[in-house]
Amino acid sequence: MIEASNTQIWIIIIAMGIGTYVIRFSFLGLIGNRDLPGWLLKMLRFTPVAVLPGVVAPMLIGSTAAHSSDPLRLSAAMVTLVVGLLTRNVLYAIVAGLSVFFGLGALIG
């Protein structure tokens, strides 16, 4: 259970709301339509593949992961990746991964 007071909780909510918004607005708001150098644009095009795998990896194999190296989760992740690579379709990859996780999970118990 949470022991923080209602005021403390609201301070956290509002600070996180403002902070998250400032992070999101940052470059979009400040750069506007000013031209960025070519090398920077080239780098920025790799943002999704540079960020998302780094978010996922610790959830699956990191020392801090709640279910570190759980074979069921790892195989579901592999299936998602392979189906995504083969079909280039986000929906198929999600459905395949979740089916393995919940289907196989139910079978194993």
Partner 1 sequence: MQHPRHRRPFVKGALGSLPFFIVVIPFGVLFGVIATEAGMNLAQIMGFSVLVIAGASQLTALQLLTDHAPTLIVIVTALAVNLRMAMYSASLAPHLGAAPLWKRAFAAYVLFDQPYALSTIEFEKHPDRSTADKLSYFLGAGVPLGITWYIATFFGAVLGEKIPSDIGVDFAVPITFLAVVAPMLKSLAHVAAAMTSVTLVLTLSFMPYGTGLLAAAVVALAVGALVETWTETQGKAR
Among 37, 91, 107, 108, binds partner 1 (CB under 8 A): 91
Contact between 53 and 59 (Cβ < 8 Å): no
Residues 59-88 that bind partner 1 (CB under 8 A): 59-64, 66-67, 73, 76-77, 80-85, 87-88
Between 64 and 71, name the residue whose CB sits nearer to partner 1. Answer: 64
Query: Residue 104 is which amino acid?
Result: L
Residues 5-64 that bind partner 1 (CB under 8 A): 6, 8-17, 19-21, 23-29, 31-34, 36, 39, 41-64
Contact between 57 and 73 (Cβ < 8 Å): no
Rounded to whole angstroms, what are the CA distances from 56 to 4, 11, 60? 30, 29, 7
